[in-house]
Amino acid sequence: MTTFQVGGPARYFVEARSQNEAKDAVHYAAEHRLPLFVLGGGSNLVVADAGFPGLVLKVGLAGVEFEGDLENMLFNAAAGEPWDNLVAMAVTKNCAGIECLSGIPGTGGGTPVQNVGAYGQEVSETITHVTALEIATGETLVFDNAQCGFTYRTSDFNTTKRGQYIVLEVTYLLKREGTPRIEYADLKKFFGDSPATPPTLQQVRDAVRNIRQSKAMLIVPGDEDCRSAGSFFKNPLVSSAEADRVEALAQQRVPGKKLPRYPAEDSLMKEKQVKLSAAWLVEQAGFSKGYSRGPVGISRKHTLAIVNRGGATASDIIALKDEVQKKVFDVWGVSLHPEPVFMGFDLP
C-alpha cells in the first residue's frame, strides 16, 4: 500500500468508497477504541516494521465534477481520485493552475493536507475549499482556503488540526485557456529562457513528467530508485542572516560551488525568509547520488530521495534519515525536516 514498500501489517483495514463507508469506519474505530490512521495513495508514508495496531482507513472515494464559466472552471474532486489523473484531466480541458504538479503520486485528498507543491506551483493557489469529515463528531464540514492554514508544504490538517479530520473532497479553481507557469529553473532550462512560441499546458505537463522521471520522481515499475517517498526532506526556510552565514561557510568549505538560495514567497509568513536547497546541503555533506547503506541508500538520480534498494526495513530507512540529518547539522548547522508521514513509531 506504500511506494516505499516497507512496514508491518495493519490490525484492521478498510477501503471506504463512499462518505457513509468512511463514517462507518470512523464509528467502528471509536466504538472499539482503536487507533485510526487515514491512508491516501501511500506515496508520502513510512510505516513502522511493527505495523499499526489499529484501523487503517484507505480513502477510496472517486470521481470529479465540473462547473464554471467562460473564464474559470471548478474541479470538485473526490479525495481518493488519483492526483495525476486529475492534473491530466485539467490539462485536457485546457485549464491552468496545476500543470506543474504533474507526475506527483498519491490522491487528491492528500494535496491540501501537505499543501503539495512542485516546479513553482502549490495547490493552495487553486484550492477554494475542502470538504472533510470531523472524526470526533461524524459531521461533514467545509473549510475555505483561509481556514485551511496553508503555509510552505503544510496546512492546519497536518499541524493544529492533525488527526481531527478526514478529507472527503477538494475543490480547485482553474483558469480556462490559462497560460502555463514556467518559473522554476528546471522548466526554464527545458524550454529556454525566452521560447519563440510559448509552450502549451500539455507541453509543460509532459516536460514536468520527463524531468521527474529523470530524477526518479515518477513511479516506474521495476525502477528501484522509485521505491521511495519522493523528496524525503523539505527545503529549509531560514532568515536572511542565517542564509548569509551558511553561504559564507559554503565558500570556505566548497569554494567554487555556490549555495542555491531562493526568496521564500509566502504571503502568510510574518517575516521574509530564504529557502535553501536541501539537496545541495545533503550532497555537500557527503551524501552523493547512489550512496548506499546496506539495503537503503540515496537515489542515483536525486539526492533528496531515500530509496529501498530491496529488502529494506523501516528501521533501515530511519537509520539513514538520522545519519543524513546529523551530518547536515554538523556540517552546516541547518536542521532538515522530513516530508513523509511516519506511522506506527515514535520519532522526535
Who's near 119: CB < 8 A, 6+ residues apart? 100, 101, 184, 186, 187, 208, 211
| Catalytic residue status for 315 | no
The CA R_g of the chain, rounded to the nearest whole Å, is 20
| Catalytic residue status for 153 | yes
Who's near 194: CB < 8 A, 6+ residues apart? none
* DSSP tag of 224: G
- Report how far residue 168's alpha carbon sits from residue 108's, in angstroms, rounded to the nearest whole number: 9
In a 10 Å sphere around its CB, with 0-12 CB exposed, 13-18 middle and 19+ buried, how is residue 346 labelled?
exposed
| Helix (H/G/I), strand (E/B), else coil: 161 | coil
- Report how far residue 7's alpha carbon sits from residue 312's, in angstroms, rounded to the nearest whole number: 9
- Report how far residue 107's alpha carbon sits from residue 331's, in angstroms, rounded to the nearest whole number: 37
- In the set 231, 283, 299, 300, the catalytic residue is 231
- In the set 17, 153, 176, 309, the catalytic residue is 153
Q: Extract the runs of DSSP E, i.e. beta strands, from the chain.
A: 10-16, 36-39, 45-47, 52-59, 64-68, 72-78, 95-96, 117-118, 121-122, 127-134, 140-144, 165-176, 237-238, 261-264, 273-276, 292-293, 296-298, 306-308, 341-343
Who's near 270: CB < 8 A, 6+ residues apart? none
Order the strands of the 306-308 sheet from edge to edge.
292-293, 296-298, 306-308
- In the set 81, 99, 169, 339, the catalytic residue is 339
Cell 493552495: give the residue.
124
- Report how far residue 263's alpha carbon sits from residue 225's, in angstroms, rounded to the nearest whole number: 30
| Catalytic residue status for 339 | yes
- Report how far residue 208's alpha carbon sits from residue 333's, in angstroms, rounded to the nearest whole number: 32
Indicate which residues carry an active-site annotation: 153, 231, 339
